[in-house]
Amino acid sequence: MARTIQRPIGMLGLTCLVLLSLQQTSAFQFTIGGAKGWTVPDNSSGLSYNSWAESNRFSTGDSILFVYNAEHDSVLEVSKGDYDSCTTTSPVGTYSDGHTLYTFKHSGAHYFISGNKDNCLKNEKVVVVVLADRSKNGTAPAASPPSPTPPSPAPAIDQSPPAGIVQVTPTQPPEGEMPNNGGLSSMAAAAGIIGSVGAFLASSLVLAF
């Protein structure tokens, strides 16, 4: 008797199972027509399958369920041109099991009509626009903030003296040398001579009296 050997699931297999589980839990199933199912819509209500489809958000991985009487109706997936004209002779896909579950595998517009052309002409048709997978992040990256504009450099200040003015920079005498006081010595000598002349004149006046 052969024995069945169960091998442990590797890390890769476990990751695939987790991803598959997440994908299944993030997908939704929509039943078209609700309790009435896939049939000729009631014109008195003013509603259509397209208004129902526009009020829902469909993503890849989601599915739509068509419930109908297989003896009198069916579901055709068609092109946009055949959808507009209710042409039933060249469908993309034909479903007639009475309980059709269609899964959206790619984004974009999907066109469905009744296999009964008279029913299609009475608006038993729908356009379902499918968006990207919900598990993918479709938001664009935040725009980078603009680089700050560097401040304008301050205008250079002209350090040169105005025209007509001579700038004199005092210089220090070399170390070990006395500053040149020739000008002060000459003034002191002149003051001494004037003082001597004044003293001589004063003594002459005293002697005259």
pLDDT score for 138: 47
Which pTM was predicted? Answer: 0.54
What contacts 167, CB < 8 A, 6 or more positions away? Answer: 161
Does residue 52 lie within any of the structural domains? yes
Phi, psi of 109 (to 5 degrees): -90, 135
pLDDT score for 43: 74
Residue that the structure tokens 């560097």 belong to? 150
pLDDT in tens, 56-81: 999 999 999 999 999 999 999 999 99
pLDDT score for 85: 97
pLDDT score for 45: 63
Does residue 70 lie within any of the structural domains? yes
Does residue 142 lie within any of the structural domains? no
Stronger pLDDT, 166 or 13, i.e. the higher one: 13
State percent of the chain over pLDDT 70: 50
What contacts 134, CB < 8 A, 6 or more positions away? Answer: 26, 59, 61
Does residue 165 lie within any of the structural domains? no
The Cβ-side half-sphere exposure at 71, using a 13 Å CA radius, reads 0
pLDDT tier at 34 (50, 70, 90 boundaries)?
A: confident
CATH number (domain holding residue 95): 2.60.40.420
Q: How far apart are CA 112 and CA 57, in angstroms?
A: 17
The CA distances from residue 44 to 86, 116, 117, in Å, are 22, 21, 21
Whether the per-residue pLDDT at 128 is higher than 90: the answer is yes
**Chain-centre distance of CA 136, in angstroms?**
16
Whether the per-residue pLDDT at 87 is higher than 70: the answer is yes
Average pLDDT estimate for 148-170: 49
- Domain carrying residue 63: 29-131
What contacts 200, CB < 8 A, 6 or more positions away? Answer: none
Phi, psi of 95 (to 5 degrees): -135, 130
Does residue 101 lie within any of the structural domains? yes
Does residue 43 lie within any of the structural domains? yes
Does residue 198 lie within any of the structural domains? no
Q: Domain total for the chain?
A: 1
Alpha-carbon dihedral sign for residues 82, 87, 90, 95: positive
Does residue 5 lie within any of the structural domains? no
